[in-house]
Amino acid sequence: MAATFVDDIGSFPLPLSVDRETYDKAYQLARDAQTKIEDSFIQKNFVDVTINSFRTKMETGLDIVNTPWHYDGIRQVSDVIHKTMQQGTFIVEEKDAFFPEVRAIEEQAKQLYEEAGKKIMLRVCMFGPMEQYIAEIGTQYYSDVLDGYAETIQRFAKNAIINNKYIETRVISIDEPSFGIHNILAPTLDVFYQVLERAFDFQGVTKQVHLHSTAGIHDLLDVENIDVLSFEYAASPKNIDAVSKRMLEQAGKQIRIGISRTDIDTIYAELNDQGISSPSNEQLIDSVDTIRKRYQKAKEKYGDLMTFTGPDCGLNGWPNQEAAKTLLTRTVEAIKTL
């Protein structure tokens, strides 16, 4: 049976050495600088934080490591779109459609490669055109605006593809967590097909779409530019019942299944109901055995079509990097020790 790659979804807690306000300011300055960062404030509070968080993720044994998103996921793109809107368009110029985190990692790739002793396999995720549109506009449908978001996301994705001696972008994931639950009021499903075909119009990487629910997953099977459908399973076990292996085979799609819980607010609530008001990191994280059983059940159902796995979603809301790192390490261990 073919191997299943272990990756992560992206967001990650800030280290204790920097607060949210300071990091966000450094991030915005790094974006404005665009080129190689030399300012000491940006270096300390953005570049070093990003690289050290990426290094922490690498240490967990992930096959493919997502850039560590510490900045608000919607604002990564919308901040740039807002500047573009001053010129009367929602389409960001190609030179401005970039993630500072990706550029920082690319600049440090040689050192990271030497530390790891192997080429870095990178995953880059971003909120998709529909999620960005809903956050900015709502559900009322305006075709030209939605098309502009699709073009902008395509440019951000294309500019995140790196392939050199030290690092290679293996996966681009466009995340549409609201799809199937809270949709734009478009006249037909064809609107969504066309938007995603445009957003995913790039080559050279595996293209994932990440969903929180399988409610709308059937509507994405005909999007030719999508390679892998991704959804949460650990926190929502019934999701797996909505997607059959035959359905994927007929559509020519692969699947990514989340096998470790990341829904931290619900985990806190469940523990509180058990009388645990201040849980330890250990109490927050699934056991290796629990994660392994989920993986085995999913792999048994999908076989070689399950080409990716990892945590359900991002870890930005988790209490500290130590807890997040342990979760990733356990997820890797659950699979690699089989």
How does 188-200 read in b/e, with b if 16+ C-beta sit within 10 Å?
eeebbbbbbbbbb
3-state secondary structure of 159: helix
Angle between helices 75-85 and 143-159 (to 10 degrees): 120
What pLDDT was estimated at residue 33?
84
Beta bridge partners of 125: 173
* pTM, rounded to two decimals: 0.97
User: Strands across the sheet with 228-232, in order?
Assistant: 5-6, 306-311, 254-260, 228-232, 206-211, 167-175, 120-127, 65-66
Q: Write the pLDDT tens digit of every residue in 118-136.
A: 999 999 999 999 999 999 9
**Gyration radius (Cα) of the chain, Å:** 19
DSSP 45: I
pLDDT in tens, 263-277: 999 999 999 999 999
Fold of 5-336: TIM Barrel (3.20.20)
Query: CA-to-CA distance for 161 and 165, rounded, in angstroms?
Result: 14
pLDDT band at 338 (very low <50, low <70, confident <90, very high): confident
The answer to whether the beta carbons of residues 134 and 86 sit under 8 Å apart is: no
pLDDT at residue number 3: 83
Once rounded to an integer, what is the mean pLDDT over residues 83-96?
96
Contact 8, 82 (CB under 8 A): no
Q: What is the pLDDT of residue 36?
A: 62
In this predicted model, what pLDDT tens digit does every residue of 211-258 receive, in sequence order?
999 999 999 999 999 999 999 999 999 999 999 999 999 999 999 999
Q: Which of 31-40, 203-212, 218-227 has the lowest mean pLDDT?
A: 31-40
* Cα 307 from chain centre: 16
Contact by Cβ (8 Å): 181, 216: yes
Predicted confidence at residue 2, as pLDDT, reads 72
Mean pLDDT of the chain: 97
